[in-house]
Amino acid sequence: MPTQLTETNRVNANENKSPLIQVKDLRKYFSIDHHQLKAVDGLTLDIFPGETVGLVGESGCGKSTAGRTIIRLYEPTDGEVLYNGRNIYSYKQREMAKIRREIQMIFQDPYASLNPRMTVEEIIGEPFAIHRTLSGKKKKERIKELLKLVGLNPDHMSRFPHEFSGGQRQRIGIARALALDPKFIVCDEPISALDVSIQAQVVNLLKELQNKMGLTYLFIAHDLSMVKYISDRILVMYLGKMVELTDSSSLYDDPLHPYTQALLSAVPIPDPEINRERIVLKGDVPSPIAPPSGCVFRTRCPVAMEICSKVEPKWQEVKPGHFTACHLYEI
């Protein structure tokens, strides 16, 4: 049986707040050719109002599936997600439609996620039509406001997505996600498809919008380079499992898990005085259909021990607010 996660993962700054989102032992398995693919295997996480939690891992680690299951684009195999204290999986269709206004997603590829045959006005206006909230002149005014909010020219609302650059298209996607005044947004690798020079602009825009609108984000990324600048806390996943969770500074200054250490060693440091040794991981990520026994990272871990193939490491708080699952830290 997988380890039951009972520890709370809140950090001191959040101690007096109630979480907006509580993910409890969430599992999402897919059936493929009579096998089970364990995309998410026991995710437990509180996300507090106004907070950004970064969710990081290589492709295939389950982070996007986790994001989609948390907002119920996928039904879970097991577990709960509480939004304002209520399990969203218990909502009937009509109730869920109301919650959908408050929970939104920004997608990785702004071009693929925007209908090329629709104008910007139609794209951003679609949520108002689906949820029947605004129409006519009021809708048009709100679309203009949203375009200004994301730094686009409202006079361009009759243009089509292909008439914009990649960064501008992502801004259109953000405006669409903001249309219904959401509280919580899953940002699914929103900067991965953009040029490096544009990535910082989009991250800054998301931060600005968070401050203005009090938004809460789950920010999914495949590496640790940009995620530090937006995240209050960062959760690292490997093969469907949580491996480390703490605030951003602790993760960068004192990573505990060997996988996090390897991911961090690949992040360039702008200071030529600091020379960090690159840890190159052996082999590919194993198939989640047949994950390794014991610790799922053991086949690539440079410091694996005998126990690692036999016993799954426990998720535990090694330092205040700093959690990891690794036998090196078990007491």
Complex with ligand SF4: residue 22 or 260, whichever CB lies closer: 260
Complex with ligand SF4: residue 143 or 301, whichever CB lies closer: 301
Cα–Cα nearest to 108, from 211, 168, 187: 187
Which residue in the set 96, 180, 198, 328 belongs to the binding site for ligand SF4 (CB under 6 A)?
A: 328
| Binders of ligand SF4 in range 230-269 (CB under 6 A) | 257-258
Q: Least CB distance from residue 260 to ligand SF4, whole Å?
A: 10
11 φ, ψ to 5°?
Answer: -105, 165
- The 3-state DSSP class for residue 256 equals coil
Q: Least CB distance from residue 213 to ligand SF4, whole Å?
A: 39
Q: Does 187 bind ligand SF4 (CB under 6 A)?
A: no
320 φ, ψ to 5°?
Answer: -55, 120
Among all chains, which residue has been given the structure tokens 């900067």?
Answer: 191
Cα–Cα nearest to 23, from 93, 76, 92: 76
Q: Least CB distance from residue 315 to ligand SF4, whole Å?
A: 12
Complex with ligand SF4: residue 5 or 308, whichever CB lies closer: 308
What is the pairing mode between strands 35-47 and 216-221? unpaired
Interface region with ligand SF4, contact rule CB under 6 A, candidates 7-15, 33-41, 172-180, 320-328: 320-328
Complex with ligand SF4: residue 181 or 284, whichever CB lies closer: 284
Q: Least CB distance from residue 262 to ligand SF4, whole Å?
A: 10
Q: Which long-range contacts (CB under 8 A, 24 or more apart) does 116-121 make?
A: 116/160, 116/161, 116/162, 117/160, 118/160, 118/161, 119/157, 119/158, 119/159, 119/160, 120/147, 120/152, 120/156, 120/157, 120/158, 120/159, 120/160, 120/161, 120/164, 120/172, 121/157, 121/158
Q: Least CB distance from residue 172 to ligand SF4, whole Å?
A: 41
**Size of the residue set binding ligand SF4 (CB under 6 A):** 14
Q: Does 68 bind ligand SF4 (CB under 6 A)?
A: no
> To 5 degrees, how large is the angle CA 252–CA 9–CA 241?
75
Q: Least CB distance from residue 250 to ligand SF4, whole Å?
A: 18
CA distance 241 to 239: 6
Q: Least CB distance from residue 17 to ligand SF4, whole Å?
A: 32
> To 5 degrees, how large is the angle CA 324–CA 285–CA 235?
30
> To 5 degrees, how large is the angle CA 48–CA 51–CA 53?
95
Per-residue binder mask for ligand SF4 (CB under 6 A), 271-310, x = binder: ------------------------x-xx--x-xxx--x--
Complex with ligand SF4: residue 38 or 257, whichever CB lies closer: 257
Q: Does 313 bind ligand SF4 (CB under 6 A)?
A: yes
Chain residues that interact with ligand SF4, rule: CB under 6 A: 257-258, 295, 297-298, 301, 303-305, 308, 313, 326-328
